[in-house]
Amino acid sequence: MDKLLIKGPCKIKGEVKISGSKNASLPILASTLLFDKPVEINNLPKVKDIETMLALLKSLGSRVIISKNKRSVKIINDKKNKVFVPYSIVKTMRAGILALGPLIAKKHKAITSLPGGCLIGARPVNYHLSALKKLGMKYIIKKGYIYAKSNGKLIGTKIIFSKISVGATENLILASSLAKGTTILKNCAIEPEVKDLINFLNLAGAKIKWIGRRTLQIDGVHQLNSIKYSVMKDRIECGTFCIAAVLSGGELKIKDFDSKIIQTELNMLKKVGAKIKVGKNQIKIKGSNKIKSLKNLITKEYPNFPTDLQAQFMVLLCKANGRSQLTENIFENRFMHVAELRRLGAKINIKGNIAIIEGNTIFEGAELMSSDLRASVALVLAAIVAKGESTINRVYHLDRGYEKIENKLKKLGVNIKRLT
């Protein structure tokens, strides 16, 4: 099993290229199950979750033609496509549930495994299931699988999500695109990745429009047209590198990136003392000698601060000039990195969904264990500024969402290598 060896402290300096978005790519790839005609998706990140989703599509009978550089894929469906999504494929990835909406919409039948992925809370699929039921899907759950079917086409209706959910919003967009009549979705997630999915589908002939801040109108169409599409850049990867620059007191330039989609994160970095210049499709960020503490950083749905950068920002607050508070409102169990950060010398107290972080931490290198995707990158950030050598085990979590992060960090001046 691979591990990372990091010798610190290091200072981030240079320019980094941000990869395509994992969280935008997965629903777009799942949506290809709705198509009869070929679809080409470009700017895919080379990460494990994308490989898993492509394996899922292949298992359902789709022809998947991957380019030499693995950043582009052509998908051609067969009328004989299957409807069974096995646990063996989706056990490491939550996004497997996104096959359910397209399969029900297109094939009127699906057997999908309940999702796997990171150990960061329940992430209940009931938001998906109860909403799909309103479109006409019937289902039972048996031995870890969802057995679902519909009597012909799904029928458009009005659905109000009881809680904002990115995955449920995406699944319902996919299912409603080929439904009969009009579907109104209220209390939708408005993340940039959701908007990227809508943009992709509309360019393929879907009829989806925003009629309110969190309200979508979807007029079902008979079929979707062949399309070539480039996925948006990864805002979580971008935010991670920005935090790394500030944490290490370094300087970083990010080109070909729309800063508008991480405005909240950049504002938060300014609050702790970062100097940030935003130009046309580029960001320049510089850390200061003194990192300021925060009274209370709260994770919430977009456009607020993202839960996927909570662990990374916690590392930054460990180096702040005083006590900070961080409140996690999206997932339970998302403080699993805290025990490992304590091994490096962090002083963090957990009370329910609140973390109290004592600042002025001097991290000392240690052997560490990853527990989930974002926690593993938080450990990498801490190791970069720690005194001495750190080993991070179970980096397969990291490989699910970050493309060759050690290569990118090496180019920025980090003493890092992968041990296989």
Helix (H) or strand (E) holding 184: strand 182-186
* Residue 274, both tokens: 């970062």
- Could you tell me the pLDDT band of residue 119, with boundaries at 50, 70 and 90? very low
Q: The pTM is what? A: 0.96
Q: Are 384 and 12 in contact (CB under 8 A)?
A: yes
Domain 3-18+235-419 sits in CATH at 3.65.10.10
- Percentage of the chain beyond pLDDT 70 is 98
Summarised one tens digit per residue, pLDDT across range 329-377 is 998 778 999 999 999 999 999 999 999 999 999 999 999 999 888 889 9
> Do 3-18+235-419 and 22-230 fold alike per CATH?
yes
For residue 120, pLDDT over 50 is answered with: no
How many whole angstroms separate alpha carbon 276 and alpha carbon 292?
15
Residue 104: its H or E element: helix 100-107
Non-local CB neighbours of 80 within 8 Å, separated by 6+ positions: 61
Per residue in 235-268, pLDDT tens? 999 999 999 999 999 999 999 999 999 999 999 9
Q: List phi, psi (to 5°) of 417.
A: -150, 150
Radius of gyration of the chain (CA): 22
Q: Which CATH class is domain 22-230?
A: alpha beta
Cis peptide before 9 (omega within 30 of 0): yes
CA distances for 333 relative to 329, 396, 408, angstroms: 11, 19, 29
Active-site residues, by number, are 118
**Residue 124 structure tokens:** 């209940």
Q: At what angle are helices 48-59 and 22-31 packed, to 10 degrees?
A: 10
Q: What DSSP line would sit under 257-318, residue for residue?
A: --GGGGHHHHHHHHHTT-EEEEETTEEEEE--SSPPP-S-EEE-STTSB-GGGHHHHHHHHH
Determine the Cα–Cα distance for residues 195 and 167; give it in Å rounded to an integer: 13
CA distance 304 to 253: 24
Question: What is the H or E stretch that residue 107 is in?
Answer: helix 100-107
Gap between the Cα atoms of 419 and 417, Å rounded = 6
CB 121 within 8 A of CB 152: no
End-to-end CA distance of the chain: 6
Looking up tokens 């009629």 gives: 211
Given this model, what pLDDT does residue 79 score?
Answer: 81
Give residue limits of the domains in the chain: 3-18+235-419, 22-230
Most confident stretch, 81-90, 109-118, 121-130, 249-258: 249-258
CA distance 170 to 147: 20
